[in-house]
Structure 1
């Protein structure tokens, strides 16, 4: 069984003494060097996978002759390689270093996105969506994996939330960008929906070159830290990576990992987040359009729900960090999601209530995302557990990306009872598995408390 305990760091040299002011200065230096570039990377990554939702409100379905569930199939095919290659991608990132591996992935999906602007049929759309999922597979779990080694557990939540908010920013920015691009219909003979993919593909390729030079590696590999600063970061985060004592990942490591029940509940928690997140990231423009807006108005009115979600995420991160607890934030988010879905299901024809329900759903869906990931990942220790854990949690959770596209079928518009019911069921499931995961954490904490030789740093967070 995986013990979730940190191996001894006694073989590391003592970290150099550092005053509180100097330590705070070092953390600010890490924040500025690590987080903005990762944020930008995932903005373009999520923008590239979700921008098809904006294109579907334009003439894309007519020009590509999409019928029935073909648009939904195109959304879902992305997740097949995305799910399968997340754990292998984490291993490749460790081998080649983050700035090399992630930059290559970004360049790959930027080129694919650019190509998507020139497809002429359903088959071409499927192919580009498949390769988009392949190249994007390592970005999200790899970034969380990387962030987890730079901070202490009590510092991680706000950083995880900052990074996760890139999803919200991309969802909102995608609507604003699509609003402007909607007026480019016919420019150089291309429809406006094609310009969404072409311009965002070019932007992504540019970001990939920036990432090569600006993305951080793991603390022990960071050339912009002095040797003393590296030792200090490794010591304060209880990391062994400087000596890499864990060795290469083996089949037995995977077997031991999957013997631990907590890992299944952690993945289910993230699944319960992903289904509503992708449902509303993909279909908010479509749902808003059913309220009677034009194409441009639809894109603009898709932005405020994500702005509300951003504010709620920041508030939860602050409260979670201050109280050093995660479970209440996850439960509160799920309850807000359920309330929002209930409003959407019962107030058909009431514009203000419907729009308010969309805002509540976005707040509840996105609010728990970073909390769940931080809670689970920071309860794991070492490169092996975190590389497997981040890939496993996010790959399993993203099976929800296969569910979401088929929850909101055109034939169910404008009520979308099936989609709302699926999201509500998943939200209830999320509450149940969150409670189960918390009970397992309590069991682990009792075991540590009963062990007189245990280190307090091994206590898992609740």
Structure 2
């Protein structure tokens, strides 16, 4: 792991929204801070000095992304390892019958969805430097407790608690990174931790295979070892994160004062009429983040995508078992790895393309046909080799929607508060898709699962349609905004009222 500087947390575990080195950036105007006369120059440098900006960006990457990525890797492993435990006999040992397994999966998403938005707002109030390590400690402990369960009711209860702790992880991390990166840069950085979702499928399968080769781990045997060992690793990572994560640029000891100024001005330069990077939470800003047309439609797209993402995580081991029933459990675990590796590659490649193009919507649209093709193959043939090949196409198209949609809702609001609620909404609706996925592959539908595969083909097709229509609408609405009289609309408003306009500001343009 990279070397990290220790960063102080905000006093009292809350966040001070006041920034020490601020400028007002409204279009081309630069109003220098009274505290730091040099910041005006560095706000200009944020746009003109590409070398200094690239150096700062790399430094931020090296200090933040390794910790974030490892936390999310084990967040996804601790969520999806029940699929590996299923192959290792958890259903038999806990006397699961009928739809018990699907119920255990669903109970996780109930708490996940209910606590999604409260957790995201708590992350802003508390500060990510405290919030993310705390919730990681919580879901690591929940994974350990899964290994101690002996009935379906017990593991359902623990999985409910697991959902509470994991609820704020994905939106919290996306919101956290939005404090550090420009709009175009953000999508690629989101991909560098969200790529841990497919890698968790690959690494989780390998780790589960290695764990199952052990005779026992203390008092634990078989599938119990999977939960216990992976939970202990997660707890260890959470303790490291308490030291390595810092809330925001101005509290980072590993940045010089000049670098802090540049980091703050980079982010602020893209926010219309904002006098501070981290504003105080307000009801109006929260609502604007939620009701933004881009937030709402993109969140539905993520909901549809997550039906496939989470379904693949939970049921790929089961699908592999139906394709290769003659193989041993360990061999079946290993066969779940290659599709995730390919999916991980595309999870980084597509956001990288998006970063270079500074366009997220077109990349979302172009990625969906890969997944659609995979499900067409599943429905069209029972050939094991063809169906296994189809899992590679599915994995190639679905995982990149995580960073792309979160970056899209983040790019299309202005204030920090609206950004937190927009990301929270996107992930909350996304996890409604996760809840649906737990019922997409039912026992009576096996071994070919035509209903489950047909559902996923339908949802990915609808994704394609909605994403295309949203792009058309964004461009049309931007043309309408070009004809508005900005000065006349703002003339009667105070500075605070102008700040609160967010995406309703007449000078704001949707960013595809």
Q: TM-score, normalised by structure 1?
A: 0.93
Partner of 1:84: 114
Residue 461 (structure 1) aligned with residue 491 (structure 2): no
Which of 136, 158, 167 aligns to 1:106? It is 136
Inter-partner Cα distance in structure 2 for 1:289 and 1:333: 27
Residue 41 (structure 1) aligned with residue 71 (structure 2): yes
Partner of 1:203: 233
Q: Are the structure 2 counterparts of residues 258 and 377 from structure 1 closer, same or farther at C-alpha, using a change threshold of 3 Å?
A: closer
**1:274 Cα offset (Å):** 0.6
3-state SS of 1:62 partner: helix
Deviations 1:146-197 (A, max 9, x none): 1112111222222121121011111110000011112224554533100000
Residues 257 and 263, structure 1, Cα contact 8 Å, conserved in 2: yes
Deviations 1:219-277 (A, max 9, x none): 23323223322221121112789846743232x44444444333220210111211100
Partner of 1:263: 295
Residues 278 and 416, structure 2, Cα contact 8 Å, conserved in 1: no
Residues 448 and 459, structure 1, Cα contact 8 Å, conserved in 2: yes
Residues 290 and 425, structure 2, Cα contact 8 Å, conserved in 1: no
Residue 69 (structure 1) aligned with residue 89 (structure 2): no
Which of 165, 170, 173 aligns to 2:195? It is 165
Residues 50 and 281, structure 1, Cα contact 8 Å, conserved in 2: yes
Equivalenced residue count is: 455
Residues 54 and 299, structure 1, Cα contact 8 Å, conserved in 2: yes
Inter-partner Cα distance in structure 2 for 1:153 and 1:253: 19
Inter-partner Cα distance in structure 2 for 1:22 and 1:246: 27
Inter-partner Cα distance in structure 1 for 2:381 and 2:246: 48
Partner of 1:407: 440
Residue 238 (structure 1) aligned with residue 268 (structure 2): yes
Inter-partner Cα distance in structure 2 for 1:115 and 1:270: 31
Q: Are the structure 2 counterparts of residues 245 and 319 from structure 1 closer, same or farther at C-alpha, using a change threshold of 3 Å?
A: closer
Q: Tell me whether 450-459 or 162-171 shows the greater mean CA deviation.
A: 450-459
Partner of 1:3: none
Q: CA RMSD in A?
A: 2.3
Q: Tell me whether 98-107 or 436-445 shows the greater mean CA deviation.
A: 436-445
Gaps of 5+ in 1: 1-5
Inter-partner Cα distance in structure 2 for 1:22 and 1:264: 37
Residues 175 and 300, structure 1, Cα contact 8 Å, conserved in 2: yes
Residue 347 (structure 1) aligned with residue 381 (structure 2): yes
Inter-partner Cα distance in structure 2 for 1:213 and 1:200: 21
3-state SS of 1:399 partner: helix
Residues 194 and 403, structure 2, Cα contact 8 Å, conserved in 1: yes
Which of 403, 406, 429 aligns to 2:462? It is 429
Q: Are the structure 2 counterparts of residues 221 and 450 from structure 1 closer, same or farther at C-alpha, using a change threshold of 3 Å?
A: farther
Which of 124, 127, 134 aligns to 2:154? It is 124
Residues 196 and 344, structure 2, Cα contact 8 Å, conserved in 1: no
Residues 77 and 201, structure 2, Cα contact 8 Å, conserved in 1: yes
Q: Are the structure 2 counterparts of residues 157 and 457 from structure 1 closer, same or farther at C-alpha, using a change threshold of 3 Å?
A: farther
Residues 15 and 235, structure 1, Cα contact 8 Å, conserved in 2: no
Partner of 2:251: 221
Residue 317 (structure 1) aligned with residue 351 (structure 2): yes
Residue 14 (structure 1) aligned with residue 46 (structure 2): no
Residues 336 and 363, structure 1, Cα contact 8 Å, conserved in 2: yes
Partner of 1:443: 476
Inter-partner Cα distance in structure 2 for 1:457 and 1:43: 40
Partner of 1:332: 366
Which of 321, 326, 330 aligns to 1:289? It is 321
Q: Are the structure 2 counterparts of residues 258 and 318 from structure 1 closer, same or farther at C-alpha, using a change threshold of 3 Å?
A: closer
Gaps of 5+ in 2: 1-23, 34-38, 488-504
Q: Are the structure 2 counterparts of residues 152 and 243 from structure 1 closer, same or farther at C-alpha, using a change threshold of 3 Å?
A: closer
Deviations 1:27-78 (A, max 9, x none): 1100001111100010010000000000001111011001111111111111
**1:456 Cα offset (Å):** 12
Q: Tell me whether 22-31 or 128-137 shows the greater mean CA deviation.
A: 22-31
